[in-house]
Amino acid sequence: MPLEPPPLRNDCFALPAGVDWTPVDDALALLRDRMTTVVGVETVPLMQAAGRVLAHDLVAKRSNPPHPNTAVDGYGFAGAAIGDGPQVLPLVDGRAAAGAPFSGMVPEGHAIRVLTGADLPEGVDTVVLDEDVRVGDGHVAFRGPLKRGANTRKAGEDVRQGDVALSAGRVLTPADLALAAAVGHGAIAVRKRLRVAVLSTGDEIVEPGAQAAEGQIFDANRPMLLSLCAQFGFEVVDKGRAADDRSAVRSALDAAAARADVILTSGGASAGDEDHISALLRETGAIQEWRIALKPGRPLALGIWEGVPVFGLPGNPVAALVCTLIFARPAMGALSGAGWHIPQGFTVPAAFEKRKKPGRREYLRARIRDGRAEVFKSEGSGRISGLSWAEGLVELPDGAINVQAGDPVRYIPFSSFLI
């Protein structure tokens, strides 16, 4: 049995005592400190490794290129023998092609026909391009000088055998697969996929498309969070909906913990009467209500259920998405073995005006048009149409700010969150 990493400690979500509203950066630093890889390792065929997390540094088994070869079609010879001005060299019989090397030796002062990708025959270190020669009567003619090594590739000039070609924790891209293949790997040790369970809570929540009675709304968070986690490259486990009932939520969490490495819930995360997620996590003694100085987002309930970390997201879809992108996404990245990822933001001029009070960081639904960041017309955190309208978030700092049109603001496209 391969060794599995240990689970997180029960107190891993503890916050320092006496802190009321935790600034976003402090909350992120705490998470970054405490989230460690929780998934084991498996070996998969190279062809199936795209999007997976590399488990160990990938060491080149072979150099790329493995042997000096020619970068062009042309004629090869020993460069040392070539001076300035016209050159005429006798051709040896035969040729070197990719996959069909020339086995003999090319004497100094002689040349040989070579085709792109062919290993350089013994005695050849320089190639002249087809376009630069005349051939006839068993000879090749061209004009010197030619730099020694011209039009050739050196062995290992890209990657040398024994070098680390890719570092552990990397999420493998198509180009990474090309590199891994080139340096001799046909199978790759990757992290097992992080399994993420998604659960919605609330008496008012019904299945999308089902009959909705008065007072009921459709479950908008679950399809969003499930597809988001799938886009992150995780394996998703749909745990459906649970009513606002302590035992229903308890059994849903039990079932989720049995099948997943991390649980995302939405709704019921505050301290109200019907906020069963926080109440239950409190019972286990491992809950922390993270009151983060962030808008949109009410308290996040973070805890450990049967050894599995739970991110209790707010019920409002806008807050649920923002809290997932800002907190749950980097934390899940660390749990998955990919390490902590900081989304790349860009400073762009604002196409809006906004006066903001100090005390909490704000994320606005935004998109770029004509090089400027526009924000959605309403900040209401139930406005799902604004989420769908947006292509990213504008991040306004913790302190007070009075944004005028044209002022620089920080824009983080959704693609920077790896979706």
List residues near ligand AMP by CB under 6 A.
200, 202, 204-205, 217, 219-222, 266-270, 314-317
State the minimum distance, in angstroms, from the CB of residue 183 to ligand AMP: 46
CA distance 332 to 277: 19
Q: With respect to ligand AMP, which residue has the nearer C-beta, 195 or 222?
A: 222
Task: Indicate which of ligand AMP, Mg ion, none lies near residue 220 (CB less than 5 to 8 Å, by partner kind).
Answer: ligand AMP
Helix pair angle (276-284, 246-259), 10° resolution:
70
CA distance 369 to 364: 15
State the minimum distance, in angstroms, from the CB of residue 275 to ligand AMP: 7
Task: Indicate which of Mg ion, ligand AMP, none lies near residue 205 (CB less than 5 to 8 Å, by partner kind).
Answer: ligand AMP
E-strand stretches of 97-168: 111-114, 126-129, 134-136, 139-144, 152-153, 164-166
State the minimum distance, in angstroms, from the CB of residue 269 to ligand AMP: 6
Residue by residue, DSSP assigns 190-248 as EEPPPEEEEEEE-TTEE-TTS---TT-EE--HHHHHHHHHHHTTPEEEEEEEE-S-HHH
- Closest to 38 (Cα-Cα) out of 334, 253, 383, 417: 334
State the minimum distance, in angstroms, from the CB of residue 318 to Mg ion: 15
State the minimum distance, in angstroms, from the CB of residue 243 to Mg ion: 10
Q: With respect to ligand AMP, which residue has the nearer C-beta, 145 or 380?
A: 380
**Interface residues toward Mg ion, by CB under 5 A:** 202, 267-268, 315
CA distance 354 to 401: 8
Task: Indicate which of ligand AMP, Mg ion, none lies near residue 400 (CB less than 5 to 8 Å, by partner kind).
Answer: none
Q: With respect to ligand AMP, which residue has the nearer C-beta, 8 or 205?
A: 205
Tokens of 108: 């100094």
Q: With respect to ligand AMP, which residue has the nearer C-beta, 74 or 268?
A: 268
Measured between alpha carbons, how far apart are the two ends of the chain, in Å? 34
Q: With respect to ligand AMP, which residue has the nearer C-beta, 126 or 265?
A: 265
Q: With respect to ligand AMP, which residue has the nearer C-beta, 269 or 396?
A: 269
CA distance 107 to 125: 12
Q: With respect to Mg ion, which residue has the nearer C-beta, 276 or 361?
A: 276
Task: Indicate which of ligand AMP, Mg ion, none lies near residue 337 (CB less than 5 to 8 Å, by partner kind).
Answer: none
- Closest to 52 (Cα-Cα) out of 221, 199, 201, 172: 172
Q: 71: left (phi > 0), else alpha (psi -120 to 50), else beta?
A: alpha
CA distance 70 to 88: 20
State the minimum distance, in angstroms, from the CB of residue 217 to ligand AMP: 6
State the minimum distance, in angstroms, from the CB of residue 272 to Mg ion: 8
Task: Indicate which of ligand AMP, Mg ion, none lies near residue 317 (CB less than 5 to 8 Å, by partner kind).
Answer: ligand AMP
